[in-house]
Structure 1
Amino acid sequence: MRVHFIAIGGSAMHNLALALNEKGDEVTGSDDAIFEPSKSRLEKADLLPEEMGWFPEKITSALDAVILGMHAKEDNPELQKAQELGLKIYSYPEFLFEQSKDKTRVVIGGSHGKTTITSMILHVLHYHDKEVDFMVGAQLEGFDTMVHLTDENDFMLLEGDEYLSSAIDLRPKFHLYQPNIALLSGIAWDHINVFPSFENYIEQFKLFTDSMVNGSILVYNEEDPIVKEIAESATKPTRKHPYSTPEYFVENGETYLKTPEGDMPIEIFGEHNLNNLAGAKWICQHMGIDEEDFYEAIATFSGASKRLEKICDVRGTLAYKDFAHSPSKVKATTKAVKEQFPKKQLVACLELHTYSSLDTKFLQQYEKTLAAADEAIVFYSPEAVRLKKLQEIDATQIEEAFQHKNLKVYTNPQLFQNYLKTGSFANAVILFMSSGNYGGLDFEQVKEWI
């Protein structure tokens, strides 16, 4: 196939481009800006555009498909040219479905936990040399790309994102996959710029179960009441398997999972991650991995990139970073770290970075989310608020929203860095939670400061 990517530099898009190139397809692409690590990875595969920008002349009738990234707008000149020529234009999820329509599609959905669960499943399958096609949203150790496509594999494992597909396809991505096997991990309102009410957001997950093929299998987290209600009323799946957090305990900073084979030390920690593990086990069993083999493999799973990732351990002071930004994930992550290290002072640093987190009304969802922390830091950029055209927020609003007795608010990156440089963090755990970088924080320097 000859395939052209409009907005090739995106996290998911560049991985798909690399996968198709590896498969032997002829791949080209454009973008107006490409950042690391996409830039280096595309360059290594000789797929990096010679110059940035949009070039309609790249779009010709010789192309078999055009894949449109979410970053590209409706008035994109390359998109307009493709439409004029009547070329087949796919959104990212639409193309993945096309590639997997003759396979057994396994889709992992939920507001939180889906990347970790997908990564766990992939890790277990890889450990036991079981080949599957896949798409996962985080980089995993031992994998060159996070999209893999073949003609021969029976299964396609997909992380089911509820965000929109493209500028010309406003359906949530996970509505397009039509799963044979699906998992729902948990539901907590997110993406308020797209789903203006919680009811509207919940509806997307009901539509997801409606999109499953007849006679399918649904695995669901029965500890989430909304998920439980949706799963129990779903009509497409004929087999339903609820899961809940397995028994575990923490001893000397190490988490042990109770299994039929005895107490097993694992590298991940936190109740939410153990809950994710239970869901991953069900899916792996439906994909041909028995329980004993699952436990053997999951013992070596150290986590997906940016998910509770240890930055350093310096003289008993630890630092972790996590992609958490939604209220439910912030609360779960903070609680998990305190539970793992109960005798250490926990300093939780949260950056409000997304559209939802910077919205004055949505801010109330963060009440008590940092309660497990001994000291709480909230960082945000007033410039980011202006760029997103949101109502201005101030420190008082944040203090009232979070309801934490020991809270500091920073808006200046330099002042936040000075706090990290000069603070006393002996026998502490510093937890950084953000999908951004606190206005340019270098985590390598954090190692030196503490």
Structure 2
Amino acid sequence: MTMRIHFIAIGGSAMHNLAIALHLKGYHISGSDDEIFEPSNSRLEKHGLLPKETGWDTNRITRELDAVILGMHAHPDNPELKKAKEIGVKIYSYPEYLYEQTKDKKRIVIGGSHGKTTITSMVMHVLKTNNVDFDYMVGANLEGFDTMVSLKEDTKIAVFEGDEYLSSPIDLRPKFHLYHPHVALLSGIAWDHINVFPTFDNYVDQFRIFADMIEKDGSLIYFEEDENLQQIADDLRDDISIYPYNSHASIIEDGVTYLVHGERKIRMQVFGKHNLQNISGARHICNEIGITDDQFYRAMTSFKGAARRLEVLSENENCTVFYDFAHSPSKLQATTDAVKSQYANRELIAVMELHTYSSLKKEFLPQYEACMDAADQAFVFFNPKTIEHKRLEPISREEVKKAFANDTLKVFTEPEPLFTMLQKMNWQSKNLLIMSSGNFSGQDLKEFAKKITGDPVNFKNNEKWYSHQNRSI
């Protein structure tokens, strides 16, 4: 009998991907939402899952449903949710249903304040390259994968990105508390989501609880230079095996990063200290599920990174424009340091947008101290209307500059003067790093990058570029 599942708030980034995954599995899917944006709209429409009308309709909730999946975008007083409760339909949060689908499989869960998307993507890429079929959930688009979620009947492994944010409007547990991994990885802890976890100690506790939920005789892989992770590992149950890791040995030659493994040099398409840490963590996971080092390294040579993680928007032989999803202080510093280290002979212009709830909260701003100091020039943008929309206390440009503790940093509250100034700069022997979880109040960043570098298509047809990109491993 075909399972019938209804999604309340189907348009969410995670929700629409899960809806598509279950549709492809043969389930009957329905959904509702009060607004659906791109790319969710087009993807749902492609699979015939786009609601015919926006808004909530209690007639969609019947006893014929096997389950309702509730998204974070919905409110606790949602009328469809209320009816589902009244008639006794089983209600799941997004992570609860992922566990329900994979409770008989070996679950690998990657958590941490930074790097979890990239490590998950690395593991997925290695498994796919080595023809291992598996279920997965990851928080970014990845080359070679049509969706960010896949669930099948005959797979034995599930690889999940473990987000510490809340599960649903009526389930305030962090998502990764619901997965009960057999193999867990924690990449590091740096305070985030201040609106949910008001103190650092409270935030750290969520990772401790996650580690305690590892299945019997499971394993924890963790970054050993993080003191909080070391303490969590020291306090774990005796039946859990622990595997610390550090940055992978590497060298940089002519702007290209090579991993060093014994006598071998393995050319990478990603770079930076955090990615070297991520690679080590991913290798440990792959070893735990039967992938040899030789299989791992062969696969990793073709890994280009996850979408929106140090993504190249455009480039020529004198300048590269990067975009990164970085928004927390630790991510900003790691990303800025990575680009500057990789291109030591180029000036680095770094631009970031304060956009998230935490980043715009006055009490949190001091966490950003010195996090962009590796850049030769640094700029910060925030939109006062975003602060107003989030119902936060106003902040000033002076307060932001003081928080970053960088005398040369400039702060903008309107995007046009910032991007006009950037476009007029001389970009000879310079790189531009754009960091945000938003879009600088509606800027087309890819088009802007092309204006700086010229036509990237013609450049990539250039013989010099081609030979640079295709050196032997």
Tell me, yes or no, whether TM beats 0.5: yes
Residue 69 of structure 1 aligns with an amino acid whose one-letter code is: G
Cα contact 2:314–2:450 (8 A) shared by 1: no
Aligned-residue CA RMSD in angstroms? 1.0
Equivalent position amino acid for 2:206 in 1:
Q
**Contact 2:336/2:350, CA 8 A, preserved across alignment:** yes
What residue in structure 2 maps to residue 233 of structure 1? 235
Moved more, 109-118 or 247-256: 247-256
Query: Which whole-Å CA distance do the structure 2 matches of 1:186 and 1:204 have between them?
Result: 13
Q: Residue deviations 1:116-149, cap 9 Å, x none?
A: 0000000000000100111111101111111111
Contact conserved, 1:182 with 1:218, CA < 8 A, in 2? yes
AA matched with 2:175: K
TM superposition shift of 1:447: 2.8
From 63, 86, 90, the equivalent of 2:88 is: 86
For 1:412 and 1:136, locate their aligned partners in 2 and report how far apart those are by CA, in whole Å: 33
Q: Which of 76, 79, 104 is the matching residue for 2:78?
A: 76
> Corresponding residue for 1:161?
163
Aligned runs of 1:169-248 on 2, under 5 Å? Answer: 169-235=171-237, 237-248=239-250
Contact residue 318 and residue 427 of structure 2 kept, 8 A: no
Number of the residue aligned with 1:334: 336
Q: Which residue of 2 aligns with 1:272?
A: 274
Aligned residue for 1:134? Answer: 136
The alignment status of 1:285 with 2:322, answered yes or no, reads no
Deviation at 1:71, TM superposition (A): 0.7
CA distance in 2, matches of 1:261, 1:373: 34
Residues paired across the two proteins, number: 450
CA contact (8 A) 1:216 1:236 kept: no
For 1:212 and 1:330, locate their aligned partners in 2 and report how far apart those are by CA, in whole Å.
30
CA shift, 1:228, in A, is 1.3
Map residues 53-132 of structure 1 onto 2, 5 A cutoff.
Answer: 53-132=55-134
Structure 1 residue 295 displacement after superposition? 0.5
Structure 1 residue 251: Cα displacement: 1.5
Tell me the CA shift for residue 254 of structure 1: 0.5
Match for 1:38 among 37, 40, 52? 40
The aligned residue for residue 407 of structure 1 is 409
CA distance in 1, matches of 2:234, 2:160: 23
Q: Which moved more, 1:21-30 or 1:209-218?
A: 209-218
Q: 2:256 aligns with which of 254, 257, 267?
A: 254
* Structure 1 position 339, deviation (Å): 0.2
Instruction: Return the alpha-carbon distance in structure 1 between the equivalents of residues 399 and 15 of structure 2.
Output: 37
Give how far 1:342 is off: 0.7
Shift of 1:151: 1.6
Report if aligned partners of 2:136, 2:148 keep a CA contact under 8 Å in 1. Answer: yes
Give aligned-pair identity as a percent.
53
Counterpart of 1:302?
304
- 1-structure distance, mates of 2:359, 2:441: 16
Stretch deviating more after TM superposition (155-164 or 311-320): 311-320
Task: Check the 8 A contact 1:213/1:237 in 2, yes or no.
Answer: no
Shift of 1:445: 2.1
Distance 1:283 1:199 in 2: 28
Secondary structure of the equivalent of 1:41?
helix
1:320-399 aligned at under 5 Å gives the runs 320-399=322-401
Matches within 5 A, 1:431-450: 431-450=433-452
Deviates more, 1:204-213 or 1:416-425: 416-425
Residue 45 of structure 2 aligns to a residue in which SS?
Answer: helix
Give 3-state SS (helix, strand or coil) of 2:359's partner: coil
Counterpart Cα distance in 2 of 1:77 and 1:417: 44
* Paired residue secondary structure (2:240): strand
Q: 1:16 to 1:237 in 2, by over 3 A?
A: farther
Secondary structure at the aligned position of 1:445 is classed as helix
Shift of 1:236: 6.3
User: TM-score, structure 1 length as denominator?
Assistant: 0.99
Match of 2:148 in 1: 146
Report how far residue 237 of structure 1 moved. 4.8
Matched letter for residue 200 of structure 2: F
Work out the CA distance in 2 between the residues paired with 1:109 and 1:444. 30
1:339-365 C-alpha deviation (Å, 9 max, x unpaired) = 000111100001000000001111000
Task: Determine the C-alpha separation between the residues in 2 that align with 1:40 and 1:416.
Answer: 32
Q: Is the 8 A contact 2:167 2:173 kept in 1?
A: yes
Q: Is the 8 A contact 1:14 1:42 kept in 2?
A: yes
Instruction: Report the Cα offset of residue 263 of structure 1.
Output: 1.2
Decide whether the 8 Å contact of 1:314 with 1:447 is kept in 2. Answer: no
Distance 2:149 2:141 in 1: 10
Q: Which moved more, 1:411-420 or 1:118-127?
A: 411-420
Unmatched 5+ stretches in structure 1:
none
Contact 1:185 1:220 in 2 (8 A): yes
Q: Residue type matched to 1:176 in 2?
A: L
Q: Which moved more, 1:238-247 or 1:331-340?
A: 238-247
Gaps of at least 5 residues in structure 2 are: 453-473
Are the counterparts in 2 of residues 9 and 35 from structure 1 also a CA contact under 8 Å?
A: yes
The Cα shift of 1:444 comes to: 2.8
